[in-house]
Amino acid sequence: MIEKRREPRVQADFAVEVSGRSASGQLFSQTAHVADISNSGALLRGIEHEPRCGDVIQVRFGDKAARFRVIWTLASGSPQRVVKVAVHLLEGQTYPWPDEIQRRLCPPSA
């Protein structure tokens, strides 16, 4: 399968707070982890409440938060139901982890 990404993605592993509405309509707020990041999106993992594609969720990192649109979801099928969620930053929002992107995309030279 050939991927057609517009920008590079880099691996990451840091905790964020995610809130939104699950596919069943329940409001949720929980800690999740960022698995990879780009300049306009991220892959979140460990979400217990699966949102629907197209939904808008809020992601908070430290004292910064932004709204993202859910692009796709993937449930593990296990009883613990670990969900991966790909998200894209909404227009007009400011990325909540600019320092993390800079550090991973442009590491300091030795």
In the chain, what are the domains?
10-95 (2.40.10.220)
Per-residue pLDDT of 33-49, as tens digits, reads 999 988 889 999 999 88
Per-residue pLDDT of 48-69, as tens digits, reads 888 889 999 999 999 999 999 9
Residue 2 is predicted with a pLDDT of 42
Average pLDDT, the chain: 83
Strands (E), 1-110: 10-21, 27-37, 41-47, 56-61, 64-75, 83-89
CA distances from residue 28 to 20, 32, 50, 96 in whole angstroms, order as listed: 6, 12, 10, 20
Q: In this model, does residue 1 exceed pLDDT 50?
A: no
